Structure 1
């Protein structure tokens, strides 16, 4: 019995069939590709696709940095900023201030 994929998921079919490929190569090569990507405003994955002559996403991407924070991390940061762990938005604001300050003071 073949099940029909819902219409709203049709655009995701190709992505589901894609296979991620990991490259174990010299650290210097990886760093060079990452630097090229950064300078071009690409993700490392997009840079690899460009190098290989494959199509890349034409959608502009919002540049952002990410970090994963556990409940323990929030507790530590809340203590650092004299807040409570559930004040996650305020903690995020303080983190952003610290990151900017770190770069500006260099």
Structure 2
């Protein structure tokens, strides 16, 4: 019995069939491609696609930095900021302040 994929999921079918390929290149090559990507406003993956002559997806509308935080990370950050670990939005606000301060110091 074959089930039809709902229309709203059709656009995800191609992505689901894609295979991620990892490259074990010398660090010098990795850094060069990452630097090119950063300078071009692209992800390293999109820069590799450009180099290979493949189509590149449109840039995300809201490019952002990400970090994964565990429960232990939230606890450590809560202690650092004098907050409760459950105050995740306030912790995020404090993290953003720290990142801005870091960049401002580096650029002086």
- TM bracket (short chain): over 0.9
Cα separation, 1, equivalents of 2:26 and 2:37: 17
Cα separation, 1, equivalents of 2:3 and 2:63: 38
TM-score after normalising by structure 2:
0.93
Matched pairs, number: 106
Cα separation, 2, equivalents of 1:64 and 1:83: 25
Residue aligned with 2:65, SS: coil
Cα separation, 2, equivalents of 1:49 and 1:62: 21
Distance apart, 1:61 and its partner CA: 3.6
C-alpha contact (below 8 Å) 2:42/2:59 kept by paired residues: no
Aligned partner of 1:40 in structure 2 is 40
Pick closer, same or farther for the CA change 1:61–1:46 going to 2, 3 Å. farther
Aligned partner of 1:88 in structure 2 is 88
Distance apart, 1:59 and its partner CA: 4.4
Cα separation, 2, equivalents of 1:25 and 1:52: 15
The farther-off stretch of 59-68 and 85-94 is 59-68
Pick closer, same or farther for the CA change 1:55–1:29 going to 2, 3 Å. same
Aligned partner of 1:63 in structure 2 is 63
Distance apart, 1:60 and its partner CA: 4.0
C-alpha contact (below 8 Å) 2:50/2:56 kept by paired residues: yes
TM-score after normalising by structure 1:
0.95
Q: 5+ unaligned residues in a row in structure 1: which ranges?
A: none
Aligned partner of 2:49 in structure 1 is 49
